[in-house]
Each structure stands twice: as C-alpha cells, then as structure tokens.
Amino acid sequence: MIQNFIYQALPARVVFGSGTVSHVKAEAERLGGRRAIVLSTPGRGERLAEDIAGHLGSLGAGVCARAAMHTPVEVTESALAAVQETGADILVAVGGGSTIGLSKALALRSDLPQIVLPTTYAGSEMTPVLGETAEGRKTTQRNPKVLPETVIYDVELTLTLPASVSATSGMNAIAHAVEALYAEDGNPVVLLMAEEGIARMARALPRIGADPSDAEARTDALYGAFLCGSVLGVTTMALHHKLAHVLGGMFDLPHAETHTALLPHSMAYNAAAAPDAMERISRAIDAPDASRGIHDLAMSLGASMALRDLGMPEEGIDAAVDEALANPYGNPRPLDASGLRALLARAWKGEAPSAC
C-alpha cells in the first residue's frame, strides 16, 4: 500500500544518448551563454576538454584542466581566478566526480550556470551536494546553487573508462540507490528509480567487464547512473555514505573503491531494519540475499574488497567509528560502536558481509 509521502523533484534538464556531445553549443546558448570555459582534470581529461571546446565553436573561452579528487579549496580558488580572467559566463564540465566537484565549487562562488558531461557513473551531476576538502578535512553541503542546469550524458564519452574503474564507479552508483531505498525521506517514485537504477547497473557491469566497448551495456550503465544519481539528489544519505566520507577524509582513500568495499557491510548492518529495501535490491540483482549478492557482484568484477588493500590502517578503525558517531547521518538501524567496529573490521579484512 502507498504510504503518505512528500515528493520534491529537483529542476533538471537531461540530454541522454549517443553522440549527444553535439548538443553542447545549443545547450549553452539556451542558457544564455556567450563565453564557455571547459573544465576537466589534467592529462587525458584535458584532451577531451579540447574536443568539447571544438564543439562549442565561437562560444569557446578556453580550457581549465585543474580538477583534482575531493575538490581541494585551493584548486577551486586558483581555477576561479582563471575562469574570471577569461570572462566566461558559463561553465562546461567534462569528466567524473572530481571535475564535476570543481564545477560545482565554482558555481557556488560565481553563480555561473553549468553544463555537465559525465564520463563516470559517480552521479554527482544530478545532486545539489558538494564535498570540499580544506586542511585535510572533507565537508559536505547541500545547496541548490551547485545543481547543474543541464546534464548531457553521451555514452561515447564513457567507452574509454577502464573496466576496473567502471566496476567501482558503477558500485558507487549502486550505493546511492541502496541508501535511497531506505532513506527516511524516500517516496514511491524514488523507490522505482532506485530499483531500476540498481538493476540496470548490475546487469551492465559484468558485460562491460567482458567488453568495455559494448555500447549497449555502456548505455544501460549510464542510464543506471543517471537514475542512481537522481535518487541521491533527492534523499538524505545514511550510514554507508557517512562511513565512506569518514574513511575518505581521514585516510585519503580512493572514493569509488572505498564505496565498493564498504557497501556489502553497511547493507548487512542495516538489513534487518530495512527489509523492504533488501527485497527490492535482491530482485534488482537477482540474488537471494541482498548484501551477499552485492558482495559477489563486486568480487566477480575483480574489485578490491579489503579496506586494508586501499590503504586504511587497522588502528584507524576505532578513530573512524568515533568520527562516524560524532556527527551521524540518520540510519534505519540505530548506530552502536561495537556494531560499527565489527562492520569495519570485516570490511578492512575483505571478509564476506554478516549482520553484526
């Protein structure tokens, strides 16, 4: 039976498909842009940014290839000065969550509109959430100013994403939908999108692992990422995202890989308190047990499932538990220190998930 709910959609314009990068100039003009600066990471990202600048033609105001993981404030400040020097009136970001983070941080400070072309499955493009790092601490805020005005999903931009990065990035997307399924502010529309997002992604990732150039699988994964990012944007996060943020900030662990190793354990912790969510996840991934099924999926993709292999020190477990409890996110199961310690100990060793 449908329970009472509140449905609050975020403004979004999404252009999805193959070859959609060709829309970028028209989309910039639609937003009133006359000088567009393209943001990316350095290296391969910069070459891609130059291609996008080519599509912008006379609107192109240059490339700023400075994005870095976890959106360091000092990078944002130097990029802001570079953007202002060009007189740009619109931001165009091409890349994964790191580039999109820079774009959002610039939009926060400048109010410039954003067009985002995601090349991973992290989902940041669909959320009003910005995480920034200053003096080794990552803080997260929700602000409608950072939500991109237009998102152009072009499957062709994802074909070069290596299979291993696709796997963990896809698991990161699944983590968004998992927590949306038991979010205290969920609603029936979110449930539909989250379950479909998990199903599309879970079916696509093994095919991408077998053949990273499989355009049909890439299309499913990108569509799944859109759905998973969308539900993250309209619900509040719980224990799993809290732990991922704590570990990422404290030990500088890689973002998507940390989500991947933690997810089965956060799910097992919450399973008894969120049976409907677990049932939907089981159905989406076609596995009898949701947390075990997610663990097996990640293992089958060759993901590293031990936090110790990602660089977390064992003695960091207690400090991480303290930090997670100091400023907790809402969660279906109440948080207790011994349960969290057991959860992290299993994830640290890379064991199979188990309710603790």
| Binding-site ranges for ligand NAD (CB under 6 A) | 41, 44-45, 69-71, 95-99, 101, 119-120, 122-124, 127, 129-131, 157-158, 160-161, 165, 169, 172, 232, 255-256
Residue 123 vs 293, nearer CB to ligand NAD: 123
Provide the minimum distance between the beta carbon of 58 and ligand NAD in the complex, in angstroms, as a whole number.
27
Provide the minimum distance between the beta carbon of 317 and ligand NAD in the complex, in angstroms, as a whole number.
22
Residue whose C-alpha is closest to residue 105's, from 153, 150, 66: 66
Residue 15 vs 155, nearer CB to ligand NAD: 155
Provide the minimum distance between the beta carbon of 41 and ligand NAD in the complex, in angstroms, as a whole number.
5
Query: Using alpha carbons only, what angle is made at residue 159 by residues 155 and 160, rounded to the nearest 5 degrees?
Result: 140
Provide the minimum distance between the beta carbon of 190 and ligand NAD in the complex, in angstroms, as a whole number.
15
Residue 99 vs 187, nearer CB to ligand NAD: 99
Provide the minimum distance between the beta carbon of 199 and ligand NAD in the complex, in angstroms, as a whole number.
20
Which structure tokens are listed for 126? 């669909």
Report which residue's Cβ sits closest to ligand NAD.
97
Residue 113 vs 118, nearer CB to ligand NAD: 118
Q: Which stretch of DSSP H or E encloses residue 51?
A: helix 44-56
Contact in structure between 293 and 287 (CB atoms under 8 Å): yes
Residue 96 vs 224, nearer CB to ligand NAD: 96
Provide the minimum distance between the beta carbon of 27 and ligand NAD in the complex, in angstroms, as a whole number.
20
Provide the minimum distance between the beta carbon of 184 and ligand NAD in the complex, in angstroms, as a whole number.
18
Q: What is the largest CA-CA distance in the chain?
A: 60
Instruction: Give the C-alpha separation, 148 to 140, whole Å.
Output: 17
Instruction: Give the C-alpha separation, 292 to 70, whole Å.
Output: 30
Residue 89 vs 119, nearer CB to ligand NAD: 119
Instruction: Give the C-alpha separation, 15 to 25, whole Å.
Output: 13
Instruction: Please give the DSSP secondary-structure letter assigned to residue 150.
Output: E
CA dist 247 → 109, 178, 185, 244, 274 (Å):
27, 19, 25, 5, 24
Provide the minimum distance between the beta carbon of 142 and ligand NAD in the complex, in angstroms, as a whole number.
9
Residue 158 vs 292, nearer CB to ligand NAD: 158
Residue 71 vs 76, nearer CB to ligand NAD: 71
Instruction: Please give the DSSP secondary-structure letter assigned to residue 334.
Output: P
Residue 259 vs 346, nearer CB to ligand NAD: 259
Contact in structure between 93 and 161 (CB atoms under 8 Å): no
Q: Which residues contact 106 (CB under 8 A, 6 or more apart)?
A: 39, 76, 79, 80, 83, 91, 112
Contact in structure between 292 and 269 (CB atoms under 8 Å): no
Which residue's structure tokens are 């075990």? 292
Provide the minimum distance between the beta carbon of 347 and ligand NAD in the complex, in angstroms, as a whole number.
18
Q: Which residues contact 62 (CB under 8 A, 6 or more apart)?
A: 37, 38, 53, 86, 88
Residue whose C-alpha is closest to residue 111's, from 103, 122, 121: 103
Contact in structure between 128 and 144 (CB atoms under 8 Å): yes
